[in-house]
Amino acid sequence: MNEEQKSLLLESSSRFLLSQGVKVSYGTAGFREDASILSSTVYRVGILAALRSLKTQSVIGVMITASHNKFSDNGVKIADPNGGMLSQHWEPFADKLANAPSPQQLLQLINEFVEKERIPFDGVRPAEILLGRDTRPSGEALPEAARQGVTSIVGAVASDMGILTTPQLHWMVRARNKGIKVSEQDYFEQLTSSFRCLMDLIPTERKVFDGVNDKLVVDGANGVGGAKLRILHNLLNVLDMEVRNSSEDEGVLNDGVGADYVQKEKVAPRGFGSKDAGTRCASLDGDADRLVYFSVPPESNAQIDLVDGDKILSLFAVFIREQLSLLNEKEDIKNCGKARLGIVQTAYANGASTNYLKNLDLEVNLTPTGVKYLHEKAAEFDIGIYFEANGHGTILFSESFIEWLEVRSNMLSSGSKGSEAEKAALRLLAVSKLINQAVGDALSGVLLVEVILKHMGWSIHRWNELYIDLPGRQLKVKVADRTSVVTANAETVVVSPPGLQEAINAETAKYNQGRCFVRPSGTEDVVRVYAEASTQEAADTLANGVAKLVDQFLG
Ligand SMILES: CC(=O)N[C@H]1[C@@H](OP(=O)(O)O)O[C@H](CO)[C@@H](O)[C@@H]1O
Ligand SMILES: [Mg+2]
């Protein structure tokens, strides 16, 4: 770094001093804190993004959101060149940068990192950053802090893309680096055209819908997703859809609404009740990267029927598998049998979903919690489908498989127009354009679920009956130091403290179909306990028993 660069950094960072006593961490999904203390963090993430852009010589994204956290929080995360999460390799530097106590120490850190990573400054393409934010009022001022961070690197440019869902921003970064147009209109255009293509390819004999009514009602968590879904709905003009909880005029963001609340509490969000009994309902989270479905029972105090991320994954897997087997039926393209379809879940996936998928002869992989791990694993397959139980997930298509599909669909259409194999190839191509290839995206997820249900002729109840969830319970245990819990085998086994896993095993063995694991949360200061068993009562007792063990070993 030359002297001009150093003095620019010193000068601008003196305007964003760290609040006293604040220690932030990049965590599972970026920095999240009370919005009032975030401007220095966002400023520093601006610097980080510009450095990442120089290093990768690509466009980088900065998204200001705290997803499902409470209204008064906000947060910031980075989208890497392919639209995915920030490389894990850079996370320790992100932590150090955000916590550097003074401008001088900040400068020293940056200088050392630039040397170590050999970040090029001269004679290279200047850094370019896309900024996005959700609808939180605290997000109005924060993009300016990010912009000042970005422009404290000489020549760097920040483009403010305005209010977006997290997946829209990730989509734009990915598209920009592939040389594709990146406006919000382009995003909507890609989603609507691929959705229409899938609708046109629905087999005519299946167009009968076995549900009582075909209407979908969506809970927008009073966040950014509801308003965007309304736009999409108007553009499509073919879906019978009502969007509720779509802005702060209707209620507080994430307060008794949203996918996180619905999935964790297993209750209907505010604004939904027995009047919706039997109707297909869905819920987005605060920044619209998670999606769950549910239906409300007629009795007002009964539990909702939750159709979670595992079941969305299963629906997608059934559909993709059907298309691959249609392709296989065509004698001359048996090669597609080589297409590797992989499923990726975490240990939180309901055991019944994993059994169901394995019984379909699918390869199921487990990774640690956090989308960055699932995404990485799914990218190893020709088609990789990943979902967390909480509704964050997507379907990844490898570049080579897409090329193969394009060639095949062209060959097929010259030979046998309108064959089943050709339609299957076209459907898979349309899915690859509809479903977000960068991150889980509730808007594209809703459209894909809706069109697959129509394709299958399934109601939400038929879909929910793919398998019956095993009763489960999740608990949080507050301990002195959660980092003293060390796990292995995709977080299913505790290796430290010694003796804890043996005690968990002994407890779990007492229960029919018992399964239990514990791990330190990456976003909250707690150890999480997850238990499953053949009855709800047994799952509850197992979870409570293991929570006590955690307390005894670590309390
Ligand atoms: C059990 C659970 O839902 N864990 C969530 C939660 O992570 P924890 O590390 O468990 O706090 O937040 C992550 C980020 O949103 C999400 O990826 C993950 O699935
Ligand atoms: Mg989210």
CA distance 282 to 268: 10
* Minimal-distance CA residue to ligand 1 atom 10: 521
pLDDT, residue 221, reads 97
Indicate whether 47 and 71 sit together in one domain: yes
Candidates 366, 367, 491, 523: which one to mutate for ligand 1, based on the most atoms within 8 Å of Cβ?
523
Question: How much distance in Å is there from the Cα of 186 to the middle of ligand 2?
Answer: 22
- Phi/psi at 533 (5° precision): -160, 180
Indicate whether 159 and 171 sit together in one domain: yes
Indicate whether 327 and 409 sit together in one domain: yes
Specify the ligand 1 atom closest to the Cα of 371. 17
Compute how many other C-beta atoms are within 10 angstroms of the C-beta atom of residue 206: 12
- Which CATH number characterizes residue 149's domain? 3.40.120.10
Domain end residue (candidates: 275, 307, 339): 307
Amino acid at the residue 236: L
In a domain, 208, yes or no: no
Question: How much distance in Å is there from the Cα of 367 to the middle of ligand 2?
Answer: 19
* Minimal-distance CA residue to ligand 1 atom 15: 29
> Could you say which DSSP state residue 154 is in?
T
In a domain, 371, yes or no: yes
pLDDT, residue 530, reads 97
User: Which active-site residues does the annotation give?
Assistant: 67
* Side-chain half-sphere exposure of 418, counting CA atoms within 13 A: 2
Pairing of strands 31-34, 73-79: antiparallel
In a domain, 206, yes or no: no
pLDDT, residue 248, reads 85
In a domain, 74, yes or no: yes
In a domain, 205, yes or no: no
Average pLDDT of each block of 10 consecutive residues along the chain (555 residues)? 95 92 84 92 98 98 95 95 94 96 96 97 94 96 97 97 98 96 95 97 70 82 97 94 93 96 94 93 98 91 91 98 85 58 98 97 96 95 97 97 89 69 94 98 98 95 97 95 95 97 98 97 90 97 98 94
In a domain, 124, yes or no: yes
pLDDT, residue 416, reads 56
pLDDT, residue 299, reads 81
Candidates 31, 73, 266, 390: which one to mutate for ligand 1, based on the most atoms within 8 Å of Cβ?
390
Question: How much distance in Å is there from the Cα of 388 to the middle of ligand 1?
Answer: 9
pLDDT, residue 434, reads 98
Domain end residue (candidates: 282, 307, 332): 307
pLDDT, residue 333, reads 45
Q: Which domain holds residue 538?
A: 472-554
Domain end residue (candidates: 433, 464, 495): 464
Q: Into how many domains does the chain fold?
A: 4
Note the Cα 419 to chain centre separation in Å: 35
Indicate whether 161 and 59 sit together in one domain: yes
Rama region for 251: left / alpha / beta (φ>0; ψ in -120 to 50; rest):
left
Specify the ligand 1 atom closest to the Cα of 28. 14
Supply 94's token pair: 């992100």
Residues annotated in the binding site, as ranges? 67, 285, 287, 289, 388-390, 519-523, 528
* Minimal-distance CA residue to ligand 1 atom 1: 348
> Could you say which DSSP state residue 135 is in?
S
In a domain, 207, yes or no: no
pLDDT, residue 334, reads 43
- Which CATH number characterizes residue 495's domain? 3.30.310.50
Candidates 25, 31, 369, 532: which one to mutate for ligand 1, based on the most atoms within 8 Å of Cβ?
369
Indicate whether 393 and 430 sit together in one domain: yes
Query: How many residues are recorded in the chain?
Result: 555
Which residues form ligand 1's pocket by a CB distance below 6 Å?
28-29, 348, 369-371, 388, 390, 392, 521-524, 528
* Minimal-distance CA residue to ligand 1 atom 4: 369
